[in-house]
Chains A and B, each alone.
Chain A
Amino acid sequence: MTEATKAAAEQSAPAAGAPAAAAPRDRAQPAAGRGAALRVEGAGISFGGFQAVRGIDLDIPAGEFLCLLGPSGCGKSTLLSAMAGFVQVSKGSLTADGATVSGPGPGIGMVFQNSEVLFDWMTVHQNVTFGPRMRGLGRAEQNRVADEFLGLVGLRHCADRYPGQLSGGMRQRVQIARVLANEPSVVLMDEPFGALDAQTRQVLQQETDRIWRASGCTVVFVTHDIDEAILLADRVAVMTAGPAASIKSLYTVELPRPRDASDPAALRLRDKLRQDIAEEVRKAMQDQGLDQDTEAAAGTTAGQDAVRLDQEARSA
């Protein structure tokens, strides 16, 4: 690894709360860009009287892979739902390639954490060709699409099975193939591998990386897993604790792909991300009056990473 990339991994952590600027895109771009640029400006989302997120600014250039981290319940899924057009921003604006996102559509695909979103009464083939079928594509074209995208996720041999006959990892692959079959310009992924075992997760992370580079679409990927974010992202955004959560910090991951988790720059970035998240978890705990045993509590909420951070702090 060169000095330049090392330095790059350490750059660009704006002060908490400050609007994050778009990362400079001077690196090698993924394949032929059909991604759309997502722009979120001063976005706020409320449910009734409850303000989930506020003042979100994100400028996501076409073809970027952005990971979204943050304490549980801060509003990551909410922000993603707005990007998908499922909920409307109550303040500010949200545009894809300059056009306001006003509702869900095939241009912006969503991979959900829970594979219950697959249609159980359809075969894998029918699930994957659902989008093209809704658009009225002919049977031959549908078969081509199924072949291509099931091939991409390595599930051609399962085309005639039903989702209920697949493993959790296979179902998530079907979901990914189904979204990609629409050739969307933006793919949103909400903890897509959260429910999978470590091995399957690793395989799917690698596949995601490969598929993203082949497709060139813009990806916003929500995760709890800091290592997953470092492995996949061009940039990582950390959200503050809710309610009225916003973007706390934004890091550019200037590590060469495929990524090496043991790279010193990756380790440094991981520590920073851990600190950021643990800080937010602590704040949330204090807000809830749980500050006596904040460290332990923060550990359980932020997951292993915060625990590890605490242990490191104690042993230091």
Chain B
Amino acid sequence: MTITTTKAPDRTRTLPRRTGKAAGQRLRTLGLYVLAILVGLGAWQLVAMEYGPSLVASPRETLSAAGELAADGTLGNSIVASSRRILIGWGLGVLVGAPVGLLIGQIRIVRQLLEPYTEFFRFIPPVAFVTLAVVWLGIGETSKVVLIFYTAVFIVTLNTSAGVMAVNESKVRAAASLGASRSQILRRVVLPATVPYIFTGARLAMGNCFLTIVSAEIVAAQVGLGSLIWTSRNYGRIDWVFVGIITLGVLGLVYDRVLRLIASRVLYKYGVKA
């Protein structure tokens, strides 16, 4: 589990300008993306030809396997099941992690009380808890959601508290001398100033939730992308494994994009650059 924190966000605002030059840039970027993907597909094809379908499913085989899995509903159900677990666990993780991180960053006694735990558990990857989660919480949805929650909550908490510590001290002083109480400072100054850090934490957490979901579903799940990958292996269907892996990647990409899009619409005034 990687935990990184954001640099202090650059708050200078530039008015959006859509000049011809900018449009050209976008087109160029898009072109390069397409080129990179085509090169990747080509390389994949070559590797598949070299090793044969029992080891590497070719792009074409993967596509037809995807069609097959989509037709019988397996793919859709897997996506829905995994997404549900990720979104619930991750959402709860952000909802709990952000306020806890704020309190840890802002109130020394809370920090001192919780630090031994955050410092301890951050070294234990969620995968290590998969067995315990199943034993304690059963093979139902709860165990998976709890594991995802565990994944998200630490990353968001640590990023948030780092953000609080990075809040410009003079801003807090200014607020205090304008008559804000401690709780008003927390809500009106520290929280908004920390939003870019919370957002970065949430994004990183989302990525890590995808790591966790696979391990969680491999151990105990009837449906889900992780379980699809695992059961396909048992059936010897390499092409299905490929479908599962690629779907995970695409799904992660889509979620990240959506998150950034929402953030750039809703949170831009807090200096979130997405």
Spell out A's residues near B (CB within 8 Å): 84-86, 103-106, 108-110, 112, 114, 116-117, 119-121, 130-131, 134-135, 162, 164-165, 178-179, 182
Taking a contact as CB atoms closer than 8 A, the residue among B11, B174, B193 that contacts A112 in the complex is B174
Q: In the bound complex, what is the Cα–Cα distance between A179 and B171 (angstroms)?
A: 13
Q: In the bound complex, what is the Cα–Cα distance between A178 and B189 (angstroms)?
A: 15
10 closest cross-chain pairs (CB), A and B = A106-B179, A164-B13, A104-B177, A104-B176, A131-B178, A117-B174, A120-B11, A121-B192, A134-B180, A117-B170
13 residue pairs A–B, Cβ–Cβ below 8 Å: A104-B177, A105-B176, A108-B177, A110-B174, A112-B170, A120-B11, A120-B271, A121-B270, A130-B188, A131-B179, A134-B179, A165-B13, A178-B178
How many A-B contacts are there with CB distance less than 8 Å? 73
Taking a contact as CB atoms under 8 Å apart, the answer to whether A116 and B171 are in contact is yes
Q: In the bound complex, what is the Cα–Cα distance between A164 and B188 (angstroms)?
A: 18
Q: In the bound complex, what is the Cα–Cα distance between A116 and B15 (angstroms)?
A: 20
Known: A121-B269, A121-B270. A134 touches B13 (CB 8 A): no
Nearest-neighbor residue (CB-CB) of A120 within chain B: B11
Taking a contact as CB atoms under 8 Å apart, the answer to whether B174 and A164 are in contact is no
Q: In the bound complex, what is the Cα–Cα distance between A182 and B179 (angstroms)?
A: 8
CB-CB < 8 A to B179: which residues of A?
105-106, 131, 134-135, 182
- B12 at the A/B interface (Cβ < 8 Å)? yes
Write the B225-263 contact mask toward A (1 if CB under 8 angstroms, else 0).
000000000000000000000000000000000000000
- B25 at the A/B interface (Cβ < 8 Å)? no
Q: In the bound complex, what is the Cα–Cα distance between A110 and B172 (angstroms)?
A: 12
Interface residues on B, range: 20 to 34
Taking a contact as CB atoms under 8 Å apart, the answer to whether A130 and B178 are in contact is yes
Taking a contact as CB atoms under 8 Å apart, the answer to whether A117 and B13 are in contact is no
CB-CB < 8 A to B189: which residues of A?
119
Q: Which of A112, A119, A178 has the most CB of B within 10 A?
A: A119
CB-CB < 8 A to B192: which residues of A?
119, 121
CB-CB < 8 A to B180: which residues of A?
130, 134
Known: A117-B170, A164-B12, A164-B13. A179 touches B271 (CB 8 A): no
Taking a contact as CB atoms under 8 Å apart, the answer to whether A110 and B11 are in contact is no
Q: A130-B180, A178-B178, A182-B179 are in contact. List 7 more A-B contacts (CB 8 A).
A: A105-B179, A110-B177, A117-B171, A120-B269, A135-B179, A164-B12, A179-B178
